[in-house]
Amino acid sequence: MKSYYLVELDLSADSSELIVEYMDSMNSWLAEGKIQSLAVAEDLTRCWVVLIAETEFEAWDLIGKLPSESIYEPLVTPLMSFHQSVDLQFPAICWN
């Protein structure tokens, strides 16, 4: 049975150029349904992702496909539930 996982990523201060790479991967994963939501801090130092996986290992495997040299100790938390507004069924990307 698939479960939801919250992934918190601390990004290095010099990783702003890698955010474009993250966004390319994340946007593809959003379209494929691998992740359910994505948020990036305004100062580009933190990222939060909710994803669906069969196991926590599978969640770690997906996160491992990101450019790892700029990620410091991802935190993966299994969620009991994840709810979102009906309006968010088709994610809108906001770059402020």
Whole-angstrom distance, CA of residue 61 vs CA of residue 55 = 10
The alpha carbons of the chain give a radius of gyration, in whole angstroms, of: 13
pLDDT digits (tens, 9 = 90+) for 62-96: 888 876 655 667 889 889 887 776 655 555 565 65
The side-by-side arrangement of strands in the sheet containing 46-53 is 35-40, 46-53, 3-11, 71-79
5, pLDDT greater than 90:
yes
Which of 50, 41, 51, 49 has its CA nearest to residue 15? 41
Whats the size of the chain, residue-wise?
96
| Single-letter code of the amino acid located at 94 | C
How would residue 22 be classed by pLDDT, with cut points 50, 70 and 90? confident
pLDDT score recorded for residue 6: 92
Q: What average pLDDT does range 11-27 have in this prediction? A: 70
Which domains, from first to last, does the chain contain? 3-80 (3.30.70.1060)
Which of 70, 76, 71 has its CA nearest to residue 57? 76
